[in-house]
Amino acid sequence: MNFSITVNGIKKTVEADPETPVLWVLRDNLRLTGTKYGCGVASCGACTVYINGEPTRSCQVPIEDAEGATITTIEGARGRVAQSVQQAWEELSVVQCGYCQSGQIMSAISLLSRNPRPDEADINDYMWGNACRCATYQRIRAAVQRASEILES
C-alpha cells in the first residue's frame, strides 16, 4: 500500500505493508538511518522521532497510523533548541559508541522545548526511557543543563 508522510519538511509517498513500523520505513525505504533500531519494543528510545510534534518511539507506530503525519528525524532537527543541544553534546563529548545518541538528542530537545530549565530530577524523569549501554548518563544530564544555559544566553 502507498502512504503519504511529510518527513523533515519533504512530502514522501512510500509503499509498505501497513503494519510496517515507521522506524523501518524511515530506515529501509527512505534511507534516513540516523534513527536507530535498538530493541523494537519501545524499551530503549534509540528510534525516537517526532510524529506531529510528539516525541514517539517509531518502532511502535505502524505506517498506516502515520498516514498524513509530519515526522521529524535527527536529520531534520532544526532550531535554537536543537542547536543548543547538539552544541552542548559536542562541548561535553557526551557520545561514546553514539548509536543511541540520535534518540537521546531527540528526547533532550523535546524536554527542553517543554521545560527550558530542567533540574536533575526532571532530566532523569524525562530521559529514563532512553537507554545507553555505554552509560553516558551523567554527561547527558550535564549536557541538557548546558544546553539550557546556551538557550538562556
Partner 1 sequence: MVSEISRRSFLKVGAAASSLVLGLGADVLSAKEHSDAEFTPFVRISVDGTVTVIVRHFECGQGTATGLSTLVAEELNFPLAEIRMEFAPAAADVYGRNGFMATGGSGSMRDAYIHYRSAGAAAREMLISAAARSWQVSPENVNLNNGVLSSIGKSAPMGRFVVEATQFPVPAKPQLKSSEAFTQIGNPEIGRIDNKEKVTGAAKYAMDMHLDDQVTAVILRSPRFGGKLTSFDVANVVDNPDFLRAHALPNGDGVAVFAKSTWAAFQARDLIIAEWDFSKAENRSSDEMRADLLSAVNSDPEYHAKGSIAGTASALENATQIIEQEFYFPHLAHAPMEPLTCTLARTETGVILYDGCQTPSGAQAVLSRMLQLEPKQIKIETLFAGGSFGRRANTGADYHREVAMAFLLFGGETPVKLVWSREDDIKGGYYRPAVAHKVRMGLDGTGRIVGWDHRVSGRAIFKGSFLERRMVRDGIDLGSVEGITDTPYSIPGHYVGVTDERSPITVNWWRSVGHSHTAYVMESMMDMAAAAAGQDPVSYRLSYLMGDSPDQKRLASVLRLVAQKSDWDGQVPEGRSRGVAIHKSFHTYVAEVVEISGNANDGVKIERITCAVDCGVPVNPNVIEAQMEGGIGFGIGHIMRDEITFTNGEVDQFNFPDYEPLRINDIGAIDTFIVPSVEPPTGVGEPGTPPAGPALANAIAATGVRVSHLPMSTNGVEFV
Q: Contact residues for partner 1 (CB under 8 A)? A: 17, 20-21, 24, 27-29, 31, 33-41, 43-44, 46, 73-75, 86, 89-102, 105, 123-125, 127-128, 130-141
**Residue 106 CB, nearest approach to partner 1 (Å):** 9
**Residue 11 CB, nearest approach to partner 1 (Å):** 21
DSSP annotation string for the chain: -EEEEEETTEEEEEE--TT-BHHHIIIIIS--TTS--S-SSSSS-TTEEEETTEEEEGGGSBGGGGTT-EEE-GGG--SHHHHHHHHHHHHTT--SS-TTHHHHHHHHHHHHHH-SS--HHHHHHHHTT---TT--HHHHHHHHHHHHHHHH-
CB nearer partner 1, residue 67 or residue 90: 90
**Residue 81 CB, nearest approach to partner 1 (Å):** 14
